[in-house]
Amino acid sequence: MALKVRKNRSPKPPGPCPLTECMAVIGGAWTANIIWNLSGGPRRFGELRIDIPAVSPKVLTTRLRELERKGVVNRKVKPTSPPSVEYSLTGLGAELIPAIEAIVAVGHKLKHRHDC
């Protein structure tokens, strides 16, 4: 006998799901790491490469462009010789920090659970 499908009782948000929208921003490979490293203040591309050594330059460039397009990261060209580019979080980007901190806290608990 097949099991009866129960009705989902979680509240349904109107229109596009906000969870889906948020995960579309932070769900990409290395995206949370980039946001986390920018939470301490503006960083240049080379500094981000040092902060996140495992990310390739191509992926870092792609993620930074996506985050800029989504309004999470500001890109500022500095009038130096040679020109340098500095990345920083927008107000919207800074609002993602508590969510990433919560994910990190759960990650620590999961890691501790597997280490025991």
Q: What is the pLDDT of residue 112?
A: 86
SS3 of 56, please? coil
Q: Taking each helix axis as running N to C, give the angle between helix 31-38 and helix 18-26, from 0 to 180 degrees, rounded to the nearest 10.
A: 80
Domain boundaries, position 51: 18-115
Q: What is the pLDDT of residue 116?
A: 62
DSSP alpha helices (H): ranges in 56-96? 57-69, 91-95
Establish if 110 belongs to a structural domain.
yes
Establish if 77 belongs to a structural domain.
yes
pLDDT tens profile 36-79:
999 999 999 999 999 999 999 999 999 999 999 999 999 999 99
Establish if 111 belongs to a structural domain.
yes
What is the pTM (predicted TM-score) of this model?
A: 0.80
